[in-house]
Copies of this chain bind each other. A is one copy, B any other.
Amino acid sequence: MAQTDGGRILIVSNRGPVVFSRSESGEREYSRGAGGLVTALNAVSRRSEDSVWIASSQSEEDARVAGEPAPYEVEDLCLALVEHDPEAYDLMYNTLANPLLWFVQHGIYDLPYAPAFGDDTRRAWEEGYVPVNRNFADAVSRIAGDEEGETTILLHDYQLYMTPHFVRERLGAEAFISFFVHIPWPESDYWRVLPDYVRRGVLESLLESNVVAFHTRRYARNFLDTAAEVLGAEVDLEKGVVYRDGREVWVRAYPISIDPSEFEELAESDAVLEQESWVSDLPGKLLLRVDRMDLSKNVVRGFRAYGKMLKRYPEMKGEVTFLAQLQPSRGDIEEYARYAEAIREVVGEVNDEHSDDDWMPIELSMEDNFPRSVAAYKNYDALIVNAIRDGMNLVAKEAAIVNEKDGVLILSENAGAREELGEHALTVNPFDLDEQADAIHRALTMPAEEKERRASALRETVLDNTIEDWAEAQMRDIEAYRERLS
């Protein structure tokens, strides 16, 4: 195992692995955070006995933990929680990171009208994003400063873009900083939508890292182009290097993955088995989507394409149910509320047009029900992941591992997962309803032999690059970078 010898690993992400609360009897409790990033960072954290995970305080009890001497041990993890000024955190999270950076990096602005940057944007940057990032860097330097020896600092995602700048300022050239961006990196024209102080500020900060990492080669390439276009930085596209003040910044792609055994166990859990009887009762073949309800996920077009398929192949009526498990998200943002409304509308239209007494074409679930999603993973005949843009999309990987029906994956060419899974999926242009309608039909009528071949290949591909491999590949490169320097 390519663990850094004796060195300490600091993992920093906005959300931590657990959230603390207090029971009625006044005892401290915690619940595990959900989501692919937390699982992934758990895998990284477990690689070193001497690792500390730094994250934002998210609850009252978290704030108490943050006030106690760090690190705080829970299960096999060492935690350090950071308390931010609530107003600064709100500006960072609800003005700068979501929606601004999220919208730019997913390319989902209606550019003739939005965004329109003004004083509010600058304030959210100066009084929100920057101080929160400085706060993270202070925590990093406090903890890194406690001990001798090499420290590897692994910073994660778009809430933390300015942290490398402040960490470098505090810890100097010796600190090894790796920054992982978990959402797409856009092409430079779209990055340049951002105000000058953000687009330059973020790039200059990220280039204080030793390694900047993404899920796909495409995002890494876009980042190199953006650095060259916006900063005039010297880049080597072939080698994936930015040359900066005599230093090398390695720009790399490590496709994130899952822990297959976690999902295999989950698939046999009581909660999932309970939901499975409900899922099995849905009439006909099962077409599935599982998504957070986000503008980037392309839910509306997915339903429209399904409606088109039913019109074009009326013999499919009654022979399939489209189960959509949509986890509510960011409902307080106007664009998201409007999108949820558009989803309800198109579902109503398709169901009104095609349903009969015994059959409802779309089964829409807008609640958080992970056991039901896993039960559906096991039973789908076709899974649609048609995102407009998606950093990776772990649903495609999770589902491939537990599915028992040789289900077919319909995959957007703009999902990060396409680089690994594309050749075994039916890839679609997310903007082309016809192509998606045909892909749905093809998936649902595919000969058993082809289904089996594709499903096995998907499964093999996921097993070939698990979350362990993902962590390992990064550590190997960090070692290689260090060896080149010494």
Contacts and interface: CB of A to CB of B under 8 A. Distances in A.
A108 B109 CA distance: 9
Nearest to A308: B118
A189 B192 contact: no
Interface string A448-485: 00000000000000000000000000000000000000
B107 A195 contact: no
A190 to B, nearest CB: 8
A252 B435 CA distance: 34
Contacts of A188: 187
Interface in A378-433: 388, 413-414, 429, 431-433
Interface in A266-293: none
A327 to B, nearest CB: 17
A239 B117 CA distance: 38
A239 B112 CA distance: 35
Nearest to A195: B432
A300 interface: yes
A435 B195 contact: yes
B189 A429 contact: no
Contacts of A74: none
Interface of A: 107-108, 110-113, 115-119, 121-122, 186-190, 192-196, 295-296, 298, 300-301, 304, 308, 339, 342, 388, 413-414, 429, 431-435
A111 B112 contact: no
A140 B188 CA distance: 39
B388 A111 contact: yes
Given A196-B432, A432-B195, A110 B107 contact: no
A107 B192 CA distance: 13
B107 A196 contact: no
A301 B189 CA distance: 19
Contacts of A190: 107, 187, 189
A266 to B, nearest CB: 31
A304 B115 CA distance: 12
B118 A434 contact: yes
B434 A117 contact: yes
A304 B116 contact: yes
A429 B196 contact: yes
A456 to B, nearest CB: 27
A429 B111 contact: no
Contacts of A187: 187-190
Contact of A107 (B111, B118, B300): B111
B295 A119 contact: no
Given A107-B111, A195-B435, A196-B432, 11 more contacts: A107-B189, A108-B112, A111-B388, A111-B431, A112-B300, A118-B308, A187-B189, A187-B190, A189-B414, A194-B431, A196-B429
A254 to B, nearest CB: 21
Given A112-B295, A112-B339, A187-B189, A117 B196 contact: no
A329 to B, nearest CB: 14
B301 A434 contact: no
A429 B388 contact: no
Q: Which of A122, A188, A429 has the most CB of B within 10 A?
A: A429
Contacts of A196: 429, 432, 435
A429 B198 CA distance: 12
Contacts of A118: 308, 433-434
Contact of A108 (B108, B111, B121): B111
Q: Return the 3 tightest CB-CB contacts between A and B, nearest first.
A: A110-B110, A187-B187, A112-B295
Contacts of A111: 107-108, 388, 431
Contacts of A189: 107, 186-187, 190, 414
A335 to B, nearest CB: 8
Contacts of A193: 429, 431
Contact of A432 (B107, B117, B298): B117
A118 B117 CA distance: 35
A188 B414 CA distance: 12
Contacts of A300: 112-113
Contacts of A429: 117, 192-193, 195-196
Given A107-B189, A187-B187, A431 B116 contact: yes
A434 B116 CA distance: 9
A10 to B, nearest CB: 34
